[in-house]
Amino acid sequence: MRHFIFEENLFEKYRNIIPDFEAFLERITKPLGNYIRVNGLRIGKEKLVSLLTSRGLKCRSSFLADHFIEIPEGVQPGILLEYHLGLFHPQTLTSAIPVMALNVKENDLVLDMCAAPGGKTSHLAELMKNTGLIVANDKNVSRLISLRANLKRLGVLNTAVTMNRGEQYPLETSFPRILLDVPCSSEGRYLIGENGKVLYRGRIGKGLPQVQKQLMHRALKLLRPGGILVYSTCTYNPEENESVIQYALEKFEVKLEEINLDFPHELGLTEWEGRKYDDSIRKCWRIYPHRTNSVGFFVAKLVKKG
């Protein structure tokens, strides 16, 4: 087993909360799985596998075998003809969990509050079979360009795109389903080089938890009584994860629900650095690269009472 000294002991603070910590450190020195999501709006999985195999690509199954295919490391999905035809979307395996946890149905009304660049939005549209309405929001013009391009390429027809700061999203309409995949420090995407240097670095800023709480506050105001909100990040930091859920439990009449999916995960924390969290936060999911061969994630499913 190799040993690493990371920049400012980047992950050492998580030693006691990440199971099999040395295996975790070892895993993030190697590229994570190269996955594509089959776009069921245009093609079936078997036919796509056949097309890619005919090109000499070895396709492997995944934990989410009905939705995802793993292709060889080093293959750039964006250069394949099938990408431009909208037959698949390059997407991390774990990023599908928030979408699937929302449990959308045909003809639903859904708000994707921080939607760009559109991987989760298009997955929602696929699960809804292009029916109902998805409102895909983002505050950044350049990211909205990517969002629109992806939706068009993938044949998504049931989505309206809006540009608002999530914290100030208009309250005129309420929603029975909200996906809140917030901006975060992206620690789950970090890879570490042989010299201990971070090869991928996400957002840095002590103000992120405050922004996330503001987004959560607005989202729960927009959520209808009895409605479902799924909150997610791709980071390990409890201040961006469990602390935000604790805030929601304290400020709103909401409860956590179990995420009923078959996927490797650990339970949410009930304590961090001396702060106690509600016991129900165990229902949240922590997902780690050495368990899944994909990006680290945090997912929580909230239901508004009433």
Alpha helices by DSSP H, listed for 161-201, are none
Q: Helices 141-153 and 119-127 meet at what angle, rounded to 10?
A: 40
Q: Helices 242-251 and 208-222 meet at what angle, rounded to 10?
A: 40
Pairing mode of beta strands 133-138, 159-163: parallel
Burial 194-232 (b: 16+ CB within 10 A, else e): eeeebeeebeeeeebbebbbbbbbbbbebbeeebbbbbb
Q: Catalytic residue at 184?
A: no
* Helix H or strand E segment including 233: strand 223-233
Q: Measure the CA–CA gap between 131 and 125, rounded to whole angstroms.
A: 7
Catalytic residue, chosen from 114, 184, 234, 284, is: 234
Q: Measure the CA–CA gap between 64 and 142, rounded to whole angstroms.
A: 31
The neighbour count for residue 282, using CB atoms within 10 Å, is 16
Please state whether the peptide bond connecting residue 90 to the residue before it is cis, i.e. omega within 30 degrees of 0.
no
Tokens at 13, concatenated: 């603070």
From residue 191, give the alpha-carbon distance in Å to each of 35, 47, 75.
17, 33, 18
The radius of gyration computed from the CA coordinates of the chain, to the nearest angstrom, equals 19
Closest by alpha carbon to 177, among 233, 212, 128?
A: 128
Annotated catalytic residues are: 234
